[in-house]
Homo-oligomer: A and B are copies of this chain.
């Protein structure tokens, strides 16, 4: 079974690209290191709630919204 950090990473990348932000600019907005944002997008890190929410706010949305999309992708994989 895919893990939540995998689908969260996919959702994060989609949302970032939809906003035409680079990993660097998203990282700066969220107060994180660009390398860390890349690791989260690739599902290599399971961020804490605090970090995941900082990323959500930097994208103009909520943690609940990103979690909902990530959990939906776990239930109904689009790929």
**Chain A contacts to B: CB under 8 angstroms:** 3-5, 8, 46-53, 62-65, 67-68, 70-71
Interface contact B53-A64, CB-CB below 8 Å = no
Taking the full assembly, how many copies of this chain does it contain? 2
- The complex places the Cα of A62 from the Cα of B50 at a distance, in Å, of 18
5 contacts between A and B (CB under 8 A): A46-B48, A48-B48, A49-B52, A64-B64, A64-B65
Q: Which of B46, B50, B64, B71 contacts A3 (CB 8 A)?
A: B50
Residues on the B chain within 8 Å of A4, using CB: 49-50, 53, 63
Contact A67 to B62, CB < 8 A, known contacts A49-B5, A50-B3: yes
Which 4 residue pairs across A and B have the least CB separation, nearest first?
A64-B68, A46-B48, A64-B67, A46-B50
